[in-house]
Amino acid sequence: MPPKSYVTPPIKEQHQLIWLDWVTDFMDSKFRIPFTNIRFGADAIIGLFPYAGDIIGFAISSILVVTMVHHGASGKVILKMLVNIILDTLVGAIPLLGDLFDLTFKANRRNFNLLKEHYQQGKHQGNAWWAILLIFGVLIGLLVLIFFISIQVIQWLELMARG
């Protein structure tokens, strides 16, 4: 008999988790560099576009986390997922280093694996809503900051083009 904290998703949820797994694979490891074992996904490609790529990648990762919350992730799992997204966003915003980081870190896959461990092994139980709200506030602040910096860079580029 499974431990009390073990959570088995209903059949409908299991089918939706297959969709989540597909999206996670597409974002983090769908493609392979020929003649190597290095895998990458759309997140690494999107990240090649400075600032806009970071915003889009952050938004997609956030949607995946919200979907995982909808599928019953505990507060502790959500906290770990948000830390993964923050780390991916902060390091990913650094030109070139962020692109290399995207090839190895794979935040979406890490988050999906956390959800699987939660369901299959009963791991990561617990409430962390206070921390989640704090991190959510930080994420919103990060998104606003990235958006502000993007606008500043675009305005600077326009001035340089005119000048």
pLDDT at 29: 93
Is 4 within a domain? Answer: no
Among 7, 139, 9, which residue's Cα sits nearest to residue 66?
139
- Please state the separation of Cα 162 from the chain's center in Å: 38
Residue 3 located in a structural domain: no
* Residue spans of the chain under pLDDT 70: 1-16, 122-132
Query: Are 80 and 114 a contacting pair, CB within 8 Å?
Result: yes
**Each residue's pLDDT tens digit, 83-109:** 899 898 888 888 888 888 888 899 999
* 151 lies in some domain: yes
3-state helix, strand, coil in the chain (%, to 5): 70, 0, 25
Give pTM, 2 decimals.
Answer: 0.67
Answer whether residue 79 is part of any domain: yes
Q: How many domains does the chain have?
A: 1
Pick from 97, 93, 110: nearest CA to 146: 93
1 within some domain:
no
The answer to whether residues 108 and 43 touch, using CB atoms and an 8 Å cutoff, is yes
Output the pLDDT for position 108. 92
Parent domain of 76 = 11-162
Residue 2 lies in a domain: no
